[in-house]
Chains A and B, each alone.
Chain A
Amino acid sequence: DAGVIQSPRHEVTEMGQEVTLRCKPISGHDYLFWYRQTMMRGLELLIYFNNNVPIDDSGMPEDRFSAKMPNASFSTLKIQPSEPRDSAVYFCASSPWMGGGSSYEQYFGPGTRLTVT
């Protein structure tokens, strides 16, 4: 398997523009996570899905952020409108179902480095 695939790897945009980040999880994984990483705040969970259904979006910072998972092999994270404080590295991760409980390991993608000017 190619692992978790994210695109684009780098994105530079101007404040106010819409940004869409894409993720293809590992085939057969039931869980998909979106994280944001900054120097100041570290790695923060934004939202996660189970079997394409959003389970917890309490980490989404504002209504400007939205995430979808239309099928088991694709998810998007959209920021509209973008602001300079959204600049960060955004990671997608997936996990197989481990029979319940939290004993799963997450497989991270390479990340998308977003710069909003």
Chain B
Amino acid sequence: SQKIEQNSEALNIQEGKTATLTCNYTNYSPAYLQWYRQDPGRGPVFLLLIRENEKEKRKERLKVTFDTTLKQSLFHITASQPADSATYLCALEASGTYKYIFGTGTRLKVLA
């Protein structure tokens, strides 16, 4: 069956370090993958979209990679700040359906 896995355990890192979050999937062949940020009590906020033919995408301190062979996306936040503390969700396009399937998210805490 189709599955998206994000590390359910919280990730704690020191301010200034690079945070790396992982999104693994099985039995999907998504053409698009997205990352969202969600703060407590709020709706998810779109961060980045990457296409299957793009290996890497950057936006300011954010970087996303998409390895369709490994079936994995990595999400990096460089020079992390306490304000980056949130839950980060990956979402995969469900093969030509225009629908996105979301992972359960990884909670990131950046310690000052």
A interface residues, Cβ below 8 angstroms from B = 4, 31, 35, 41-45, 48, 55-56, 91, 93, 101-103, 105-111
Cα–Cα distance between A105 and B41 once the two chains are bound (Å): 20
B interface residues, Cβ below 8 angstroms from A = 31-32, 34, 41-46, 49, 51, 89, 93, 96-105
Number of A-B contacts (CB under 8 A): 56
Please determine whether A103 and B97 come into contact, CB atoms closer than 8 angstroms. no
Cα–Cα distance between A31 and B101 once the two chains are bound (Å): 16
Please determine whether B42 and A111 come into contact, CB atoms closer than 8 angstroms. yes
Q: How far is the CB of A45 from chain B (nearest CB, A)?
A: 6
- Looking across the interface, which residue of chain A has its beta carbon closest to that of B97? A56
Q: How far is the CB of A108 from chain B (nearest CB, A)?
A: 3
- Looking across the interface, which residue of chain B has its beta carbon closest to that of A31? B98
Please determine whether B102 and A105 come into contact, CB atoms closer than 8 angstroms. no
Classify the interface of chain A: helix, strand, loop or mixed.
Answer: strand
Please determine whether B104 and A102 come into contact, CB atoms closer than 8 angstroms. no
* A residues near B100, Cβ cutoff 8 Å: 45, 102, 106
Q: A106-B100, A110-B42 are in contact. List 7 more A-B contacts (CB 8 A).
A: A31-B98, A41-B104, A42-B89, A45-B100, A55-B98, A56-B97, A91-B43
Please determine whether A103 and B49 come into contact, CB atoms closer than 8 angstroms. yes
* A residues near B44, Cβ cutoff 8 Å: 43, 91, 106, 108
Please determine whether A45 and B101 come into contact, CB atoms closer than 8 angstroms. yes
Please determine whether B102 and A102 come into contact, CB atoms closer than 8 angstroms. no
Residue from A42, A55, A107, A109 in contact with B105 in the complex, judged by beta carbons closer than 8 Å: A42
Cα–Cα distance between A91 and B46 once the two chains are bound (Å): 14
Please determine whether B46 and A105 come into contact, CB atoms closer than 8 angstroms. yes
Cα–Cα distance between A42 and B105 once the two chains are bound (Å): 8
Q: How far is the CB of B62 from chain A (nearest CB, A)?
A: 14
Please determine whether A56 and B99 come into contact, CB atoms closer than 8 angstroms. yes
- Looking across the interface, which residue of chain A has its beta carbon closest to that of B89? A43
* A residues near B51, Cβ cutoff 8 Å: 103
- Looking across the interface, which residue of chain A has its beta carbon closest to that of B44? A108
**A110/B99 contact (C-beta < 8 A), A42-B105, A102-B32, A102-B93 known:** no
